[in-house]
Structure formats: structure tokens, C-alpha cells
Homo-oligomer: A and B are copies of this chain.
């Protein structure tokens, strides 16, 4: 067993108890294995992690919020201080650019997200205290008193990492232990983050078993774990097929699973916007589609433009951008294979290839632009809105705004939908027509901006209707709302003040914002 890197369980790094297999990271740029061997955990590791996390659940639920916040802040500071090493590891394992992506964008976003979670903890913002003095009832959101299982995706080694991302920060903020399942495409990055988390945890006074991390386990083990009633909830970011299989297991056990599954993030360009700045939009589109090699949940996978000369010019310019681009490095052979298959499926469904279409050496793929007429899209809407994860986008030519509206109505649930409108408002009637169909099908409606780029904000919705996520009512990003996923509603009926949680007591020394008899305030309650 000692040939594999240790796993983090119950507050210590220990050899895997039962790994039969190991795996190594790949350098995507050169398609060759790098770094040490990490264990593929079996039932013994998983059971040990689940027991340790369960044992810590009550103690963590009863921990002082200040200790939780201190831990999150300390971990954030450690991530910032370790930026050189983290960026080097992540760059080696993902081939994402060290600058600006990893160092200047994703890493600060990750530590900032942890700090926003700490802030939400200090101000009790996620607890939504509600007080009804007339009926003697008080309610708030509370910890689950059970572990949260987090599955991290391949595409954000920091910001969505199972041991450092929004799911992690949210679960811990709500005082739930975490079992992090790292993504096997960046194990050394995850290990380093887990070391920083572990060190911060040791100094925090929180239970040692608040955080466990396993690098990998097979699908059968994952399904068994997802269906274990000892879990309080699951956070998942990944593929639709994998996510739905886990969700079926979790559903059967009554375990809420918050899954971010897939999205093509349709972008509608209205005629006025096209006339105003079509060439610039073509470049913006190309940049958004190829940034991070197109491996974003919010990648603009489908863009709808008007037919006619301006639309043709847009398509021409965009084609030049795509055709002139060097190939992009993908995370893995699997991503490359899936992308080639997805592109072939789009072509088979009636799309025409304008640029790209080829794999290249290693895990590379040529940025690819496809075209289809609106009527064809509507006739094969299901096949033509399948996600192609990578630098591939489909342009749909639309006869008029009514056709755009029909196309909008043909989309299933997505994370985002974008409409480009003219700055002078001349498109706004058409905006209303398109938005009337698009709004309910997306979590975030965007004006005049490509969908890539997800601000960590209280008003963000990084979520959307099924099947983009498993529940249209929740967001995976943005504090305090993302924390709500990992909470239970607790009501107190006639319970004396001294026996209430701090944020529900009469006196409110911390100035917590509370809904008292229908009005938000930070006041004390006086007889």
C-alpha cells in the first residue's frame, strides 16, 4: 500500500487501507504521466472516511461560528501564500495557462470565495433567522449534522476543487463535515490543497475529522457511497451521465444531491447589436469559446444570429478566428475522445463544419465552428443542443425574431442564456420576445456579455433548470445562497430564550439581520 500517496481521513494522512490500483496525473500538453502514484480507494477507505466524518458531525454543528470562519480565512490565506506551488502543480496537471487563468483569476477567486463564506458565517447571513413573536415561533437554517460528499470536476483545479471550491466552502460554512472526492485529473493539486486545509484545520480548534479527502474510487463505489443514508447531502460538478447515475442512487436514499450537469449556454445576437459591433462580437465569441480550451460549464456552445448580410459577415469573421487558431490542449484523452464524438454527432444531426474539427497530437483539439439553419436546429433540437465539452460552438442562423423566440423555446434547462442588444435600446422589443422564452430555461440571463466568467456574488445564480442542474432553486456559486444547499430548516416552538441558538435569541449583540414579524432588522427583541 505504501507505494501510493496517503489519503486524508480522520485528521491524519494515512496509507490507503485497500487500494488495489493506483493512478498518476497526466501532463496534457505532452500526454504523458507525471508525478507520484495516487490510490484508487476501495470500500475500506470510503467507510473509514464516512465514519470519521459522521463522528465529527455533531461536534462541528456545535462549533462556534468564529472558529469556522477563522478556519476558512486561514485556509484562504494559506492558498494565497502557496500560490507559486499551487499554480505550478495545477498548470502541470491541467495545461491551463499559469497566467492569467490560474494565478490571477482562479486562485484569487478561490481564496476570495472562502473568505466570502467566512464572512457569511460571521454575520450569520446564511442562517436566514425568522422570528414570529406573536406565535412564539423562531426558525433558521441549521447544519445537517451529517457529512457532505463533494465530487470535484476536472475543469477548475482550484475554484471547484472538492477540497477548496464553492461546495467545500459552503458545506463547511454550514458546519457540516466534508468528504472530498478529488478529480483524478489533478491529484497533486488536490493533495496540496488538502495539506493546506489540514494544516489550517489543526490550528482552528475544529474537530480533526471535519475534512477527509480521497483521490479516486471507481463508479460502483461511488454509487454505493452516494446512496448511503449517513450522508447529509452531495455536491457534484461533472458530466450529465455520471451525475444522473449518482443522483439516482442518492434519490433512493433520500439524500439531496446538488448536481451541476451540463449546459450549452445559448447566446442570441439581436440585429441592432449585430449592426453595431458584429466584428467585435465575433472575436468576443471566439475568445469565450476557446478560453480554458472551451472547458467551461458556461462555454457558449450555441450562438444564434440573424440571417442576412450582417449575419453572414459575423459568421465569416468568426470562422476566420476559429480557423486561424492553433489547436487547444484538453485535460485528458477522455475529454478529447468525448469531444470528437460530440462533434461527429452534431455533424450527423445536420450541422456543417466551418472550421476545425480535428484532434491533434497529445490531447489537443482544433477550435471548431459549426453552422446550421434555424429550421434544421428546430427539427433536431435535442441532438443539436448536446453539449460538446471543449472549444466547439454551433452557430444557428435565424430568419427573424420570431424564429429566435422559437429557438429559445426549444432549449432544455441551461445555466445561462445571453442576449446581445443594441446600446441605443432599438433591440429592446425583440429582447422581450426572445427573453419571454429564454428566461425560464436558464439560471442566469445575461446582457451583452459572453457567459464565461462567474462572479462570486450574492446575486449570482450558477444553477439552472433540469437537466443543467438537479434543482432550479439553488445556486452552486455565490455566498450566502450556495450555503443554503447544505442546511436544514429548524423551527423552535415556545422554546425559552436561553435554550435557543444565538441568532434566534431576543438579544442580538452581533447585529444579525433577522426577519422579525415580517420586517428585516438587526434589532433586539424587547418585551
Contacts and interface: CB of A to CB of B under 8 A. Distances in A.
Contacts of A251: 247-248, 251
A449 B490 contact: no
Interface string A217-261: 000000000000100000000000000000110011011100000
A470 to B, nearest CB: 7
16 contacts: A130-B481, A132-B455, A132-B457, A135-B457, A135-B459, A135-B460, A137-B459, A141-B473, A144-B440, A144-B472, A248-B251, A444-B492, A449-B494, A458-B518, A472-B488, A475-B491
Interface stretch (A102-110, A153-161, A307-315, A495-503): A495-503
This chain: copies in complex: 2
A279 interface: no
Nearest to A458: B130
Nearest to A416: B493
A461 B139 contact: yes
Interface of A: 58, 61-62, 123, 125, 130-132, 134-135, 137-139, 141-146, 229, 247-248, 251-252, 254-256, 416, 425, 428, 431-432, 435-436, 439-440, 443-449, 455, 457-461, 463, 465-467, 470-475, 481, 484-485, 487-496, 498-499, 513, 515, 518-521
B490 A445 contact: yes
B457 A137 contact: yes
Contacts of A485: 473
A488 B413 CA distance: 11
Contact of A459 (B132, B498, B520): B132
Contacts of A519: 513
Contacts of A135: 455, 457, 459-460
Q: Which 9 A-B pairs have the closest CB atoms?
A: A254-B466, A461-B491, A520-B520, A145-B440, A137-B459, A472-B488, A251-B251, A132-B459, A444-B491
B449 A493 contact: yes
B440 A61 contact: yes
